Structure 1
């Protein structure tokens, strides 16, 4: 393999994310790759492109959804945190003990234990850790289906306006 082509593991290390996140980026088409045989290879220039962009579409969508969760969190923190805690308890036994999903759930446990302010910070922060945690959120079920659809529609409209103007 030449320096121009990187494995998903090398790419993950360069971007500071999990290997699974790199695979997910490839699957969603946010990271162009080649697949000679069974393994994905990513051009270093493609990794550089992604590393210098502020947020991927998925990261921006996740941030948008979590901002929408702020309302319910502020109105009824006990209910929202209980939903997340129950999701973590239900999901954790289904994951590999040494896997990334387990680590994210454990990190969410710590954030929730730190209180509402810590959760709100992760919901809105643009730092790398918060972005990774949002991609692996235990807050499923806080917004009902109609609310979630409305938020996603609003996101699409926002994204179309903001990115068409660039």
Structure 2
């Protein structure tokens, strides 16, 4: 992803994701379900794109909203 990322902002998002991928699973889950501007920005360059089908993604979002 770093090879295709353009600009310092994108590189910063990837740095944040890299730190979170090294964190304990609970912290990663909190990070992925977070709301706010920073969380929205980070989802612009998620390393998880294409990992889940659209139905799986919706299920996860629905479960996260119910938690």
In the superposition, the TM-score normalised over structure 1's length comes to 0.31
Partner of 1:116: 25
- The structure with more radius of gyration: 1
Partner of 2:11: 102
Alpha-carbon displacement from aligned partner over 1:26-67 (angstroms, at most 9, x marks no partner): xxxxxxxxxxxxxxxxxxxxxxxxxxxxxxxxxxxxxxxxxx
Gaps of 5+ in 2: 63-67
Q: Offset of 1:113 from its aligned partner?
A: 0.8
For residues 1-166 of structure 1, what are the structure 2 equivalents within 5 Å?
91-96=1-6, 98-145=7-54, 147=55, 151=58
Q: Give structure 1 regions of 4+ aligned residues with deviation exceeding 2 angstroms.
A: none
Partner of 1:35: none
In 2, distance between residues paired with 1:130 and 1:115?
18
Pairwise CA RMSD:
2.4
Q: Offset of 1:128 from its aligned partner?
A: 2.5
In the superposition, the TM-score normalised over structure 2's length comes to 0.65
Which secondary structure does the structure 2 equivalent of 1:114 belong to?
coil
Alpha-carbon displacement from aligned partner over 1:120-145 (angstroms, at most 9, x marks no partner): 11221213322221222111122125
